[in-house]
Amino acid sequence: MEASTTFKQELLLREYGRNVQDLVNHILRIEDRAERTRLSYLLVNLMAKLNPQLRETQDYAQKLWNHLYVMSGSKLDVDAPYPLSAMEYLNDKPQPMEYPLNTPRYKHYGQNVELLIQRATELEDEKEREAAIISIGKLMKTLYRSYNKDSITDDVILTDIQQISKGKLNMDLAYIESNNLFESVGGRAQQDSSSSNRPQQQQQQNRSGDSNRGGGDNRGRKNVRTTSSNQRNKQ
């Protein structure tokens, strides 16, 4: 037990630093119990600032007092707000992590999309439900493009929404396609820029083709002139 306590003291010393350990030793040398209690409260507040991630755990204040008790070698005698125990800290075991047991049916969408669809099925207002379908459809289309570079149509997205919601969510496909409701602003701008660049590229190709044809005609004319001049010289 003594070896384990010493080992835990060394771990806490690395966690809080040598200055905190010196303050603990100073508190132990004070004879007045009230003064020891007052300084212990101040030191626990300092330890909480030095170890802020401990606030995320349950009963972090009691753990701070137990840390102080362990650092004192189980010799701290103060009016603490909690029963001080070194054994609680020495036997403290990490809590087991919870792993998700349900794998999403569509991995490229993820579990959060299925949760959003489940929440959308609970909406009673028809307009709110349609707005939720449109927002989820945009998200699903963006996630699909990031997962797979191939293009995806609106009917595939709508079919996936219907299957995940078990037929509870549905919209008119023609209305979705005519208004590009599943298309995000970034994706729509990218498509518009690509479509606008096509006529320019076609014009550039036509110009380059015309210039090449013109260059060929000029070369042909130069050859005709040189041949005619050569014939005159021979005569």
Residue 58 corresponds to which tokens in the numbers above? 């349950």
pLDDT tens profile 177-211? 999 888 876 555 455 454 445 545 555 555 555 54
Q: What are residue 81's phi and psi, to 5 degrees? A: -75, -10
Domain ranges, ordered by start, for the chain: 2-90, 111-184
> Exposed e or buried b for every residue in 55-93, given b needs 16+ CB within 10 A?
eeeeeeebbbbbbbbbbbeeebebebeeebebebbeeee
Q: Which amino acid is at 226?
A: T
pLDDT band at 222 (very low <50, low <70, confident <90, very high): very low
pTM of the model: 0.41
pLDDT tens profile 142-188? 888 887 767 788 999 999 999 999 999 999 999 999 998 888 765 55
pLDDT band at 97 (very low <50, low <70, confident <90, very high): confident
Q: Mean of the per-residue pLDDT values for the chain?
A: 76
pLDDT band at 137 (very low <50, low <70, confident <90, very high): very high
